[in-house]
């Protein structure tokens, strides 16, 4: 028997895959340009210029995270000390 017989038979028996329609039944096939403008407003000139601005500070997000940590650590420490003191007072 031919060695490729089983491989050829398996390939021949496969059914073609038909893509299932994923769109909502009854959906209209055309789009209205007025609705596209309402739902997807064009980019403003200011946002394009801001995106193209190379002088923007790249470390601003890191500074915000550092500020959050600097403010959060003492607050959590104070809360922990307060809970510890209350538990110590109750016992």
- SS3 label, residue 77: helix
What does the mean pLDDT of the chain come to? Answer: 76
pLDDT digits (tens, 9 = 90+) for 45-64: 666 666 666 666 778 889 99
Predicted confidence band at 69 (pLDDT cuts at 50, 70, 90)? very high
Q: Report how far Cα 82 is from the mean position of its chain's Cα atoms.
A: 39
Which pLDDT belongs to residue 73? 97
Which pLDDT belongs to residue 59? 85
Domains of the chain, residue spans: 61-91
Average pLDDT over residues 57-85: 94
């Amino acid at each position: 028997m031919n060695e490729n017989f089983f491989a050829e038979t398996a390939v021949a028996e496969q059914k073609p895959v038909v893509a299932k329609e994923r769109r909502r039944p009854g959906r209209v096939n055309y789009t209205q340009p007025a609705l596209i403008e309402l739902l997807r407003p064009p980019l403003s000139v200011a946002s394009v210029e801001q995106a193209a601005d190379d002088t923007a500070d790249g470390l601003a997000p890191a500074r915000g995270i550092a500020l959050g940590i600097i403010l959060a650590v003492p607050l959590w420490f104070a809360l922990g000390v307060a809970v510890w003191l209350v538990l110590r007072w109750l016992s």
